Amino acid sequence: MTSFVTGPVRVTVPATSANLGPGYDSLGLALELRDTLEAEVTGTGLVVEVEGEGAGAVSLDESHLVVRSMRAAFELLGQQPPGLRLRCRNLVPHARGLGSSSAAIVGGVVLARALVAGGELLLDDEAAFRLTADLEGHPDNVAPAFHGGFVISGNEAAPGERGDFWAVKASVDPRVGAVVFIPPTGVETKVARGLLPDRVPHADAAAGAARTALLVAALAGQPEQLHRATRDYLHQEYRRPAMPDSLALVDALRGDGVAAVVSGAGPTVLAFTDGDGSAHTHQLVARCPDRWVARHLAVSLDGARVE
Can you say which residues are annotated as belonging to the binding site for ATP? 93-103
- Cα separation, 131 vs 225, whole angstroms: 35
Helix crossing, 100-115 with 125-136: angle to 10°? 140
- Contacts of residue 49, defined as CB under 8 A and 6 or more positions apart, other chains included, come to 60, 86, 87, 88
- Cα separation, 259 vs 271, whole angstroms: 6
Instruction: Identify the three-state secondary structure at position 39.
Output: strand
Residues annotated within the binding site are 93-103
Q: Residue 131 CB: number of other CB atoms within 10 A?
A: 25
Distances (CA, A) of 246 to 190, 213, 234, 242, 251: 17, 25, 16, 9, 9
Across the chain, the runs of DSSP E, i.e. the strands, are 9-19, 23-42, 45-52, 83-90, 150-155, 165-170, 177-182, 260-262, 269-273, 293-298, 305-306
Question: Are 129 and 146 contacting, i.e. CB atoms less than 8 angstroms apart?
Answer: yes
Maximum pairwise Cα distance, the chain = 61
